[in-house]
Amino acid sequence: MADETRLSTRQESVLDGLRDAIVACDADAARQAAEEVLASGIDPAYALEHAIAGSAEVVGAKFDSGEYFLPQLVMAGDAMTAAGAVLEAAIPKEQIQAKKVVVIGTVEGDIHCVGKNIVAMILKSAGFVVHDLGVDVKSRSFITKAKEVNADIIALSSLLTTTMPYMREAIEDLKAAGQRDRFKVIVGGGPVTQEWADKIGADGYGRDALEGLEVARRLVAERVEKHD
């Protein structure tokens, strides 16, 4: 079920109900909607990627517009987690890969969190184990946590051009510590570009949350192939 147009009208309605429950920050309703998704015959993996990720974008837009605040962002995340647990449990074990670990945060000097939070929520909904260090995170804190949890990916966010150099610092600190090859590094945020990612030696760049998810999946797949 790779193409959403192949869904029936009823299935589309059920997926809309799941998105609406998450956007409404209602964990119980999201859990029930996820059960309805399964009952309607929708592929749970498809629902995870499309309905939950789509709702995260809506929640982020509401936060940006001032309609939602941090409490709603947290409650929406709880709703995503509740729905995701139901859907993940229905995915055949042979289709589930070992969970990959991401350490994410906004770099030093930057207190913006919305984009970072949305990326974290989408990664969680897609089955990643996410350790969110918050905002204004020093380079050494990313490295310490990544080593502690044996992370696969370090995700760095910045919304200010003045804090973007701390992304470079984190990568340079990884090199200095002899840890650069151990972790994949993804960067993102309003002023961040693919050109900047290439310049500082990052492994990936996400223009938005959904692209960040695809980059994360690609990087962990490459790690698996490399070690096979």
Q: Which of 16, 12, 65 minimizes the C-alpha distance to 41? A: 12
> Quick one: DSSP state of residue 93?
G
Q: Which of 181, 156, 166 minimizes the C-alpha distance to 103? A: 156
Q: Which two tokens stand for residue 108?
A: 């030093």
Residue 167: strand, helix, or coil:
helix
The pLDDT tens digits of the residues spanning 24-59 come to 999 999 999 999 999 999 998 888 878 877 788 788
Pairing of strands 101-106, 204-206: unpaired
Q: Which two tokens stand for residue 119?
A: 């990326």
In this prediction, the residues of the chain whose per-residue pLDDT falls under 50 are: 1-5
Q: Does domain 101-227 have CATH number 3.40.50.280?
A: yes
pLDDT score of 1: 41
pLDDT score of 98: 67
Give 212's contacts (C-beta < 8 A, 6+ positions apart): 119, 122, 123, 155, 186, 188, 206
pLDDT score of 227: 57
Q: CATH 1.10.1240.10 in the chain, residues?
A: 4-94
Q: What pTM value is reported for the model?
A: 0.73
pLDDT score of 42: 93
Give 211's contacts (C-beta < 8 A, 6+ positions apart): none
Q: Which of 225, 210, 8 minimizes the C-alpha distance to 125? A: 210
Q: CATH 3.40.50.280 in the chain, residues?
A: 101-227
CATH topology of domain 4-94: 1.10.1240
> Quick one: DSSP state of residue 179?
-
